[in-house]
């Protein structure tokens, strides 16, 4: 052990989850897991490190650049996973006996060596909660992704949200409609994807002649012609993108939007079948109760990751429109083929757990709890240690989450302060006097805090009378009395 | 995307957790979490990557050598954590406002670049489930670690187990008793720690003149004298180490063992107080119901990690004596000082979750479940898709874990096969005939599997009559009928 003090610190973009945040994070994970298990997805775990050749070249150049590289013991070239989808594709190829469809959930950290933006929940390590259905070409799997995203948002009490559904296939039809060569697809989609961030004006400029940003740096344009861009504009107006809805155009009627696009695309080969399929999806969503208020078509969305091939989705919280998507995914029919040779259709979606936590905290919608303890057994008298131990284990064995105070500051005031800082609802107190009388004292710590919070309460003594802050119970009735009090205060 | 097929594979020592193992792993984690929350520990999360100077020099040279080094974006020198205790110590130093005692649990993967031995559950990535109490000098915290370990083993249904409690302070007394200079402590403890693996004979040789192992390589000895080693032997015989118990000496009586050691150490300075403290610990354990059958003193245990300073513990499964410890820990009063300058007493313990999984699987004691689904809604007729969707979502909303078959092989036989491979207990079947009659068919898949398993069952038709393998229920009673059947088959 060295003698010099080591500075306790983390690299930028990494963060600790102290107990209060960690309990909220755990609640998010437990809640999503419950939803996904109702959907009957099965869990999968994969290691953080993959061979570099497994990771690179799957999700586009920017993902490759964002890899954290790890040194293996025998000169292996390894990296930390940047998502869980690539590992899933590897697993499907590596274990050919896995039954298909393989519908799995996975909740693990991923790492991206990019520029963190912590206020918007962008970290260099963050937990993703994914579901994917592999070996499924049916659009019913896409439908299921959308409803699972909705059910997740509802279970997390996010407040109003909007799942925005797009399709790379519709975007390809758009290229035909706007007479843009398919070779330019990636460039055009990349620029369209910025609509949320930059707005119509700048996107139009970037599609055509380019512009200078605030710092004066030139943003090169794609050099599309006026008529091409007009057609893109007409299309975006017809589908009613989310930014227009936010700007006051009101909720999209999905059917009407599809009808307007069908009208525009009536000359475009293949449009009819594609739009009919989306109309079917919309109808099924409505029949299951997923209305226009929470699922919309928004074909400005292309999603950055290179592996998507069909439907893509994003989810925005209506109360945090600038925050970006908290739950995204899409169809990727070619990813498994990289490892298997054989094409295996697949669709999936991913909740950014840590982004979600930042969002819920910002909205005041995350459940915050400092302690896990329901009861703190205080220790007033060393001679009574055996009694404190007996009470503590009795309560635990009765299913009550109980801490016995083991701290180094023995004064009773310090112990109460400790219980208060953790907001532990009940204190058990027993000195030699109580011991002699065969009782223990219960202190209802919630009352004082509640009184402070509810200043409107006119007659404090009245409250106190109804539920006294502290009272004695016979030692033999400790567990029953604690249970009763916990039920009363809902802790 | 490249065209060449990438070989799907993992580095040696890494493993995937396919759904069956992953559900068992998840069950282990959920179970331990329940125990530790009853003990009122609070959760903490820290990132996988720490600065190298935070990690190195804490746990001894071998740990330093086992670090996976990660390249940061700005030439930072980072490593993957090899345990969670060092990160905890950093956190305590970095957030001085954290209330103390800080009693936290943490369950995350750790990485060690050592030689994996997968049969014994040693991997290069594995999950640890830790509890630690920081800012506690009271021996009551050590007691709590021991009982928490016992309660964890019991909750995991590990079968008989033995928590072996040792103390670096007793080992230091042993040096005095055997007249070995304290400077040799690390060497002597390192050799004693091998007792389980090598047995008395070889340990005695390594303490003295050394020996040649099976391959003929020399194992150098420490050069202790005959009387010194005799005294160590006398001591080990007096405390009745676990290997002696396994060899048939029977269960240790803790009090008797301490009395024998007190007799040996009666001339050794400081022994009386130390042994009295351990006798107190033993008495408290007994009063709380932790008897000699599951907690023993075994002072041959020193634990490898350099940071331990006091009590240390290991836990062995009696049915797998060769497997090694599945839950270990100890007191480390100096680790936080590395980051804070100030000495902060602490004690903790760690379950090796993935080792535990390997052990429970080997013992046939891990709960194995292939699916999460309770019901598979089969899809016989595309014209009835809306009906299948309605049933599926009805069941989910009623809390029944339900999958709708989305696979590419539509034949009914394939769907039954799929349900069978996942051991899904109930199939819902509805064709045009059932639809016309306003019913759906429930297939109790468990029966066939049970029949196959219980070959002793004489009259199969009798069984079948009592609980028919398939039957119709009115469509409107689907949820109620499924719930009833699930209750009957206990799924």
The answer to whether residue B1 scores a pLDDT higher than 50 is: no
Mutate to test the interface with A, among B13, B34, B38 (most CBs of A within 10 A): B38
pLDDT digits (tens, 9 = 90+) for A47-68: 999 999 999 876 666 677 789 9
Q: Given strand B402-404, what is the order of strands in its sheet? A: B402-404, B375-377, B426-429, B439-444, B470-474
Lowest pLDDT segment from A428-432, B144-148, B226-230, B453-457: B453-457
Mean pLDDT, residues A122-151 = 96
Please report the sign of the dihedral spanned by the C-alpha atoms of residue A35, residue A41, residue A46, residue A48. Answer: negative
Q: Which residue has the higher pLDDT, B44 or B65?
A: B44
Best to test chain B binding among A3, A10, A345 (most B CBs inside 10 Å) = A10
* Residues of A in Cβ contact (< 8 Å) with B289: 393
Contact status of B60 with chain A (Cβ, < 8 Å): no
Of A6, A53, A135, the CB nearest to B53: A6
Kindly state whether B3 is in contact with chain A, defined as any CB-CB distance less than 8 angstroms: no
Q: Say how many residues make up chain B.
A: 491
Does residue A451 have a pLDDT over 90?
no
Is the CB of residue B76 less than 8 Å away from at least one CB of chain A?
yes
Residue A466 pLDDT class (50, 70, 90 cuts):
low
Q: Which of A44, A125, A135 sits opposite B48 (nearest CB)?
A: A125
Question: What would the two tokens of residue B229 be?
Answer: 């080693």
Contact across the interface for A113 and B48, Cβ inside 8 Å: no
- What ipTM was predicted for this assembly? 0.93
User: Cα(B227)–Cα(A256) distance, rounded to whole angstroms?
Assistant: 95
Helix (H) or strand (E) holding A314, with range, is strand A311-317
Burial B422-458 (b: 16+ CB within 10 A, else e): bbbbbbbbbeeebbeeebbbbbbbbbeeeeeeeeeee
Contacts with A, B 406-465, CB within 8 Å: 406-408, 418, 421-422
Residues A35/A39/A45/A49 CA torsion (nearest 10 deg): -80
Sort out which chain A residues have CB atoms less than 8 A from B386's CB and list them.
284, 287
* Residue B91 token pair: 């956190």
A447 pLDDT more than 80: no
- A231 vs chain B: nearest CA distance in angstroms? 31
Yes or no, beta carbons of A407 and B68 under 8 Å apart: no
**Chain A environment of B141 (Cβ under 8 Å):** 406
Q: Flag if A70 and B72 touch (Cβ within 8 Å).
A: no
Largest alpha-carbon pair distance within chain A?
Answer: 93
The verdict on pTM exceeding 0.90 is yes
> How many Cβ atoms are within 10 Å of B16's Cβ, its own excluded?
16
Contact check, Cβ <8 Å, B72/A393: no
State the average pLDDT over residues A148-169. 96
Residue to test with chain B: of A406, A417, A420, A479, most B Cβ within 10 A: A406
The average pLDDT across A346-356 equals 96
Greatest Cα pair distance in chain B: 93
Looking at chain A, which residue has its C-alpha nearest residue B141? A406
Interatomic CA distance for residues B227 and B233, integer angstroms:
10
List chain A residues with CB under 8 Å of B143.
389
Whether residue A138 has pLDDT greater than 90: yes
Nearest Cα residue to A181 out of A234, A233, A236, A228: A228
Give me the half-sphere count of Cα atoms (radius 13 Å) on the Cβ side of residue B411: 3
Is the confidence at residue B460, as pLDDT, over 80? no
| Distance separating alpha carbons of residues B444 and B447, to the nearest angstrom | 6
pLDDT, residue A1, reads: 44
Q: Mind listing the pLDDT tens digit for each residue in B207-242?
A: 999 999 888 899 999 999 999 999 999 998 888 776
- Looking at residue B451, its pLDDT comes to 64
**How far is it, in rounded angstroms, from Cα B265 to Cα B185?**
18
| Mean pLDDT, chain B, whole residue set | 90
- Nearest beta carbon to residue A43 from set B23, B58, B389: B23
pLDDT band (50, 70, 90) for residue A71: confident
Q: What is the pLDDT of residues A297-336, one digit of tens each?
A: 999 888 765 678 889 999 999 999 889 899 999 998 888 8
**CA-based nearest residue to B443, from B375, B397, B491:** B375
Mutate to test the interface with B, among A308, A337, A372 (most CBs of B within 10 A): A372
Q: Is A144 on the interface with B (CB under 8 A)?
A: yes
Nearest to B6 among A53, A98, A389 (CB): A53
CB contact under 8 A, A93 and B144: no
Q: Is A341 on the interface with B (CB under 8 A)?
A: yes
Residue A137, pLDDT > 50, answer yes
Count of helices and strands (H, E) across chain A: 21, 18
CA angle B224/B226/B228 to nearest 5° reads 60
**Is the peptide bond prior to B294 cis by the omega test (within 30 degrees of 0)?**
no
Beta-carbon separation of A418 and B99 below 8 A: yes
3-state secondary structure of A94: helix
Hey, which residues 273-312 in chain B have their CB within 8 Å of chain A?
A: 284, 287-289, 306-307
pLDDT confidence of residue B218: 92
Report d(CA A354, CA A108) in Å as an integer.
Answer: 11
Nearest CA in chain B to A335: B1
Decide if A42 and B78 are in contact by the 8 Å CB cutoff.
Answer: no
CB spacing of A401 vs B284 below 8 angstroms: no
Residue pLDDT, tens place only, A183-201:
998 899 889 888 888 888 8
Determine, for residues A26 and B44 on separate chains, whether the beta-carbon distance falls below 8 Å. no
What confidence tens digit (pLDDT) does each residue in B128-169 have?
999 999 999 999 999 999 999 999 999 999 999 999 999 989
Which of B3, B47, B424 to probe the A interface (max A CBs under 10 A)? Answer: B47
Q: Which residue, B256, B187, B251, is CA-closest to B224? A: B187
Work out the pLDDT band at B74, boundaries 50, 70, 90.
confident
Q: What pLDDT score was predicted for residue A193?
A: 86
The chain A residue lying nearest B16, using CA atoms, is A46
- What mean pLDDT comes out for the span B442-454? 75
pLDDT computed for residue B60 by the predictor: 66
Q: Tell whether the torsion through CA atoms of A196, A202, A208 and A210 is positive or negative.
A: negative
Q: Is B82 helix (H, G, I), strand (E, B) or coil?
A: coil
Percent of chain B with pLDDT over 90: 73
Q: Which residues of B touch A334 (CB under 8 A)?
A: 1
Q: Does B44 touch chain A (CB under 8 A)?
A: yes
Single out the residue of A145, A65, A97 nearest to residue A315, CA to CA: A145
């Amino acid at each position: 052990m060295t003698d010099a003090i080591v500075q306790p610190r983390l690299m930028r973009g990494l963060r600790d989850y102290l107990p209060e945040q960690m309990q909220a994070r755990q609640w998010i994970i437990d809640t999503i897991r419950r939803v996904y298990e109702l959907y009957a997805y099965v869990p999968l775990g994969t290691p953080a490190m993959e061979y570099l050749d497994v990771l690179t070249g799957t999700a586009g150049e920017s993902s490759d650049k964002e890899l954290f590289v790890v040194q293996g013991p025998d000169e292996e070239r390894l990296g930390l996973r940047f998502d869980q989808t690539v590992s899933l594709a590897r697993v499907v190829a590596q274990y050919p006996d896995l039954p298909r469809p393989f519908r799995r959930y996975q909740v693990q950290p991923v790492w991206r060596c990019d520029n963190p933006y912590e206020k918007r929940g962008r970290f260099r390590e963050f937990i993703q909660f994914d579901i994917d259905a592999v070996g499924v070409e049916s659009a019913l799997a896409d439908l299921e992704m959308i409803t699972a995203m909705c059910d997740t948002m509802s279970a997390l009490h996010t407040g109003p949200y909007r799942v925005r559904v797009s399709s790379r296939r519709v975007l390809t039809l758009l290229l035909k409609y706007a007479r843009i060569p398919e070779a330019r697809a990636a460039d055009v989609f990349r620029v369209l994807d910025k609509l949320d961030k930059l707005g119509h004006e700048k996107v139009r400029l970037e599609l055509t002649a380019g512009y200078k940003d605030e710092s004066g740096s030139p943003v090169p344009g794609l050099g599309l012609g006026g008529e091409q861009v007009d057609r893109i504009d007409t299309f975006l107006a017809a589908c009613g993108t989310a930014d227009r809805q936010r700007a006051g155009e009101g909720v999209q009627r999905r059917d009407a939007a599809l009808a307007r696009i069908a009208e525009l695309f009536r000359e475009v080969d293949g449009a009819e079948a594609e739009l009919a399929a989306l109309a079917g999806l919309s109808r099924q969503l409505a029949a299951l109760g997923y209305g226009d208020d929470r699922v919309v078509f928004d074909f400005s969305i292309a999603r950055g990751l290179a592996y998507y091939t069909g439907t893509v989705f994003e989810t925005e919280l209506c109360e945090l429109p600038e925050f970006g998507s908290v739950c995204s995914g899409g169809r990727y029919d070619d990813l498994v083929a990289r490892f298997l040779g054989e094409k295996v259709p697949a669709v999936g979606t991913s909740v950014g757990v840590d982004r979600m936590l930042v969002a819920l905290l910002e909205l005041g919608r995350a459940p915050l709890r400092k302690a896990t303890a329901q009861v703190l057994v205080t220790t007033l008298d060393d001679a009574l240690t055996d009694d404190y131990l007996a009470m503590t284990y009795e309560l635990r064995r009765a299913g009550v989450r109980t801490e016995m105070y083991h701290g180094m500051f023995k004064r009773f005031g310090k112990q109460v302060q400790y219980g208060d800082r953790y907001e532990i609802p009940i204190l058990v107190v027993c000195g030699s006097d109580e011991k002699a009388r065969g009782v223990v004292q219960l202190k209802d710590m919630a009352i004082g805090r509640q009184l402070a919070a509810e200043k409107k309460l006119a007659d404090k003594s009245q409250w106190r009378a109804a539920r006294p802050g502290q009272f004695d119970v016979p030692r033999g009735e400790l567990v029953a009395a604690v249970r009763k009090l916990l039920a009363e205060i809902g802790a």
